[in-house]
């Protein structure tokens, strides 16, 4: 196991004195965000339901960074509340929450989804953000400061992922509506909307891999549409996604709230 340290530009000291909780931090975008913030001086709390998150936090500590790990099922409010409570106990405050949990489980035209699969997609990609925002908000209001960065998706306008698109549309709505409510307390709520992103093979799969030729074809339609919708005609990198998230999480973005920033090579979603 090797924690992915950022290969792009790092700004030492940008998160000095800041306590940042990152969900879905065992791999992918969440891991790179947590690593970048740690490298920039932040104290990071990595949350994931996979035990792999403990290996990531351990490796970050071995590199001299401040990192603590928490396992929790954020698809339930009880899991979200326990994770946020433990994160706050580590340093007595939370300055930033990055809500990164979510991801397509199945890829197919909507008429082929079962009711159970539709519910599972929404449970995976909407409720972790909904629950963790609710869990952290009283702490941020008490502090009268803080930033929530949600990770949405430009797949809100994409093929073969209607339930996932609906969930991420909900994340966009949370971002806009909660920003209005939270602003009087000095709290910012923002989001990025990643497009297609190249990443190493997942160590914990989101769902079953495509098996039949038809399923493989449906997934390829997503890839083709994603590239075609991007003006740059390519997938992004993990570091390109992390750069946008860490910017919005930083004090450099102090006058930005209620905004969803597409990070998709020109695809606005």
Active site residues: 164
CB 94, CB 88: distance < 8 Å: yes
25 contacts 53 by C-beta, under 8 angstroms: yes
Query: Please, is 39 exposed, middle or buried when counting C-beta atoms within 10 Å of its C-beta (0-12, 13-18, 19+)?
Result: buried
Q: Hey, how many other C-beta atoms are within 10 angstroms of the C-beta on 77? A: 14
Measure the CA–CA gap between 264 and 193, rounded to whole angstroms. 7
Report the DSSP pairing between strands 43-48 and 19-23.
Answer: parallel
Q: Are 155 and 165 in contact (CB under 8 A)?
A: yes
Please tell me the distance from the alpha carbon of residue 15 to that of residue 6, in angstroms, as a whole number: 15
Q: Could you tell me the two tokens for 50?
A: 């996979």
CA angle 56, 106, 113 (to 5 degrees): 150
């Amino acid at each position: 196991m090797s924690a992915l340290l950022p290969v792009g530009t790092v700004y030492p000291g940008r998160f000095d004195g800041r306590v940042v909780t990152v969900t879905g931090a065992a791999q992918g975008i969440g891991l790179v965000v947590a690593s970048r913030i740690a490298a920039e001086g932040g104290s990071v709390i990595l949350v994931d339901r996979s035990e792999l998150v403990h290996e990531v936090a351990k490796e970050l500590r071995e590199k001299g960074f401040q990192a603590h790990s928490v396992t929790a099922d954020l698809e339930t409010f009880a899991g979200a509340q326990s994770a946020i409570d433990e994160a706050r106990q580590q340093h007595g405050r939370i300055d930033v929450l990055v809500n990164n949990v979510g991801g397509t489980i199945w890829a197919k035209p909507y008429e082929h989804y079962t009711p159970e699969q539709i519910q599972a997609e929404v449970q995976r990609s909407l409720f972790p953000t909904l629950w963790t925002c609710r869990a952290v908000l009283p702490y941020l209001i008490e502090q009268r400061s803080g930033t929530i960065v949600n990770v949405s998706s430009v797949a809100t306008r994409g093929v073969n992922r209607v339930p996932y698109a609906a969930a991420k549309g909900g994340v966009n709505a949370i971002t806009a509506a909660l920003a209005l409510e939270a602003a009087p307390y000095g709290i910012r709520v923002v989001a990025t909307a990643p497009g297609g992103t190249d990443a190493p093979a997942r160590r914990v799969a989101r769902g079953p891999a495509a098996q039949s030729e038809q399923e493989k074809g449906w997934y390829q339609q997503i890839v083709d549409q994603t590239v075609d919708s991007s003006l740059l005609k390519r997938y992004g990198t993990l570091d390109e996604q992390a750069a946008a998230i860490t910017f919005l999480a930083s004090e450099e973005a102090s006058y930005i709230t209620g905004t969803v920033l597409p990070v998709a090579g020109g695809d606005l979603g």
